[in-house]
Structure 1
Amino acid sequence: MAAEYKIKVENVTKEYELFKTQSEKMRSFFSLNNSNVPHFWSLMGISLTIMPGEAIGLIGVNGSGKSTLSNIISGIIPQTTGYVDVQGETSIVAINAGLRNNLTGRENIRLKSLMQGLTNEQIDELMPDIIAFADIGDFVDQPVKSYSSGMKSRLGFSIAVHIDPDILIIDEALSVGDDTFYQKCVDKINEFKQEGKTIVFVSHSLKQIELLCDRVAWINYGKLRAVGETKEVTSEYRKFIKWFRGLSKKEKTKFQKEQKNIQKNFSIQAYQKEVTEEHQKANPEDKNVASEVHKLFYGSVISEKMSLANKILTAAVLVALIFFCLVNVSGYSITSVLGDPSLILHPLQHLNVP
């Protein structure tokens, strides 16, 4: 039985560790003591359901977590906690998304299409249409690193819409480029809507949001502030922007600092406890609520840190590597060293050559 929704995210959070040095990053990966590294929660418990054939807009000020959420939905980055279920193939359109700077536009078309599961024969058939839609001329055979942001956006959008995804995610890709290309994109998006495809549209342009979206989710400094009909939510967002612009420079700085501190000091343990209590209230007879909520939070999460088993394996490999290096330097055979490990401390002055 097909799911009633196309995309579902529940209690999704995303934590970033603000490393200052590469050594701090390496210690964190190996799960060593790294308590002095500050943490920042880009998302703090987002729950959102998107229906098949729906075009939903994501709005919010810079740094609110819109792109983070779209990247989690598209599978580019993992969530820290929470449940994410995407029913179908996604294709994300963002400047530089999936493009390799040292490859030409034509090579990027083939690479990105292969990554989406297309065969070389299918790519050869689509190639002329993708190049024509992107309309970047002879630059298609030049390295992408020489492209302007508008050209990258054109190429990325053209690839994404021609590989026929179930879910199209557009992250600020229409903010660059000329009016002619913008209209081509709008026409293509409307064509996708008529075909019943699901669209997630991230933009600062409320006019674009109102033109293209059925519903809007307003993400405000990591939290879902409102979700509903487009006109209703954009109206509330405009009031917030008007209020913010009316603040003095000092008041704006104070407000932004307060919001960032909330994101820095967010406690996942406290949030999990809050969700557990809510579930327990709704299901007072259920004695397994705590374990069910824990599974909901961590059951589908891919850890970005090394597990205990991997740590043990890595340590074993390092010990073996050091051992073989010492045996090699000692001049003795492995058999001799295994029989008498103290030989490593007394290397031969001259190597025994057979």
Structure 2
Amino acid sequence: MAENYKIKVQNVTKEYDLFKTQSDKLKSFFLPAKNVPHFWALMGISFTVPAGETLGLIGVNGSGKSTISNIISGIIPQTTGKVDVKGDTSIVAISAGLRKNLTGRENIRLKSLMEGLTNEEIDEMMPDIISFADIGDFVDQPVKSYSSGMKSRLGFSIAVHINPDILIIDEALSVGDDTFYQKCVDKISDFKKQGKTIIFVSHALRQVELLCDKVAWINYGQLKMLGPTEEVTNKYREFTQWFKSLSKKQKRAFESKKKNVQKEFDINQYQKQITDDYSKKHPDDRHAQSKIKKLFYGSVISEKMSVPNRLLTGFIGLLIIFFCLVNFSGHHVTRVLAHPRSILHPKKTLYVPNNRTHHNVIKQKHHKKGIHKK
């Protein structure tokens, strides 16, 4: 029996390498990085969102809410795990997907074209998008001159008019005024009536309680709780009140402890744990290990070069350097290959091919005859 879901997230993790400089990051593209601290923004997140449900994502800053929403929308890839999304997604975040040097109108066209709409369809809905955004003459100004509120207005307006199957809203309602906020709430309610699936990321618990059917509490990279809105938000309020009651020293110690867990997370140990759990539920399945490995890495797009690709890239780089040096030396390739040291002793005289030399000599003779005749 097929599962009825719009979004399914299984054992999703996200790792970031904490490079100190940009040069270290560039080196790691070609060579294996050594002694680079790792930070796991997500440590095994799993949940399912049925069609037509509005799921709220809550948690303190840095817990991984935006990371998981960006992975679901396809903006960034996960490190391990599987994300199955049935339908087109559109993410609404402050300036998400907007090109700063383009005008608002140009951004509307660009983003709509990227979603597969035709120019005729865009022309037809352009007035509605501009009217809903309500940014006046700024629609023909570069987005880099917009305030955060104006960017949010434009982004939200484009996203809802594209009419996606899945709408992801990431803190986009936190920067608008009351009038625009109400327009957004009405539009989201409209989407819910149409049976659209919505993921709503917000710190505003009141908004979450008004709009969401269920809530997932992401706590420092882990799924702390998933359930009915009221139940989860009440637990989260208890946590935030407890946290606020701590002294500054206690708060730092608590956060440091949680961050260390994210730095020391062992992906291999986690994979083994999932494999063991699967084996207990399916003792007769001899392929448990390979199935879990496929679940972890089968749909992952690697952000790092494999060893063969690194070797190939390095070899091509050496070839380019070699031919550049040969060119500057003035020697023929065969001579350099026969006598490698000759590359260190470039020629002082540039030899021109015979046919070109002959042509130049004839040209000089004719030039001299012309001078004598005068």
TM-score range, shorter chain: over 0.9
- SS in structure 2 opposite 1:295? helix
* Corresponding letter in the other structure for 1:18: L
SS at match of 1:68: helix
CA displacement at 1:29 relative to structure 2: 2.1
Name the structure 1 match of 2:111. Answer: 112
2:35 maps to 1:36: yes
d(CA) in 2 for partners of 1:86 and 1:302?
A: 16
1:5 matched to 2:5? The reply is yes
How high is the TM-score relative to the length of structure 1? 0.96
**Paired letter, 1:26:** L
Distance 1:347 1:87, change over 3 A: same
Matched, 1:318 2:331: no
User: How far, CA to CA, are the matches of 1:345 and 1:209 in structure 2?
Assistant: 70
Structure 1 CA distance, aligned partners of 2:312 and 2:113?
34
Matched residue, 2:27: 27
Q: Which runs of 5+ in 2 are unaligned?
A: 354-374
Query: Conserved in 2, the CA contact under 8 Å of 1:42 and 1:68?
Result: yes
Equivalent pairs counted in the alignment come to: 353
Q: Secondary structure of 1:139's partner?
A: helix
Partner of 2:17: 17
Q: Which residue of 1 aligns with 2:76?
A: 77
The TM-score with structure 2 as length reference comes to 0.91
**1:11 Cα deviation after fit:** 0.4
1:173 partner SS: coil
Tell me the amino acid that sits aligned with residue 25 of structure 2. Answer: K
TM superposition shift of 1:320: 2.1
Letter in 2 for 1:282: K
Mapped partners of 2:230, 2:258: distance in 1: 26
Deviation at 1:312, TM superposition (A): 2.8
Helix, strand or coil: the match of 2:278? helix
Counterpart in the other structure of 2:369: none
C-alpha separation in 1, matches of 2:313 and 2:242: 54
Shift of 1:34: 2.2
> Who is 2:229 aligned against?
230
Moved more, 162-171 or 3-12: 3-12
Deviates more, 1:311-320 or 1:284-293: 311-320
Quick one: percent identity of the two aligned structures? 71
* Shift, 1:286, TM fit: 1.3
* Root mean square deviation of aligned Cα: 1.6
Q: How do 1:126-275 residues align onto structure 2 when only pairs under 5 Å count?
A: 126-275=125-274
Distance in 1, Cα, partners of 2:308 & 2:108: 39
Q: Residue 117 of structure 1: CA displacement?
A: 1.2
Post-superposition offset of 1:269: 1.1
Cα distance in 2 between the residues matched to 1:158 and 1:68:
23
Amino acid at match of 1:215: K
Between 1:67-76 and 1:239-248, the stretch displaced more is 239-248
Larger radius of gyration between Structure 1 and Structure 2: 2
Q: Distance in 1 between matches of 2:244 and 2:324?
A: 65
CA shift for structure 1 position 350: 0.8
Aligned: 1:124 with 2:123: yes
Compute the displacement of 1:238 (Å): 1.0
SS of residue in 1 equivalent to 2:173: helix
Q: Which residue of 2 aligns with 1:92?
A: 91
Contact 1:29–1:304 (Cα < 8 Å) also in 2: no
Q: Higher mean Cα deviation, 172-181 or 334-343?
A: 334-343
Q: 1:345: Cα distance to partner?
A: 4.1
Q: Distance in 2 between matches of 1:173 and 1:75?
A: 18
Rounded to whole Å, the distance in 1 between the matches of 2:117 and 2:337 is 53
In the alignment, what sits opposite 2:49? 50
| Residues 227-254 of structure 1 deviation map (CA, whole Å, 9 limit, x = unaligned) | 0111111111111111111222222121
**Does structure 2 retain, via aligned residues, the 8 Å contact 1:54–1:214?**
yes
Q: In 1, distance between residues paired with 2:344 and 2:249?
A: 67
Per the alignment, residue 287 of structure 1 pairs with 286
- Contact 1:3–1:87 (Cα < 8 Å) also in 2: no
| Pair 1:340–1:3, CA change in 2 (3 A) | farther
Decide whether the 8 Å contact of 1:11 with 1:82 is kept in 2.
yes
Provide, for residues 13-61 of structure 1, a one-character-per-residue CA deviation record: whole Å limited to 9, x for no partner. 011111110121112222x242322111111000010011110000001
- CA offsets per residue over residues 48-104 of structure 1, 9 Å max, x none? 100111100000011110000000000011101101111111000000100111111
Instruction: Name the CA distance, whole Å, in 1 between partners of 2:22 and 2:255.
Output: 29
SS at match of 1:176: coil
Letter of the structure 1 residue corresponding to residue 312 of structure 2: L
CA distance in 2, matches of 1:79, 1:90: 17
Partner deviation per Cα, 1:133-184 (whole Å, 9 max, x = no partner): 0000001111111111000000000000011111000000000111110010
* 1:106–1:2 Cα change, 3 Å: farther
Distance 1:119 1:2, change over 3 A: farther
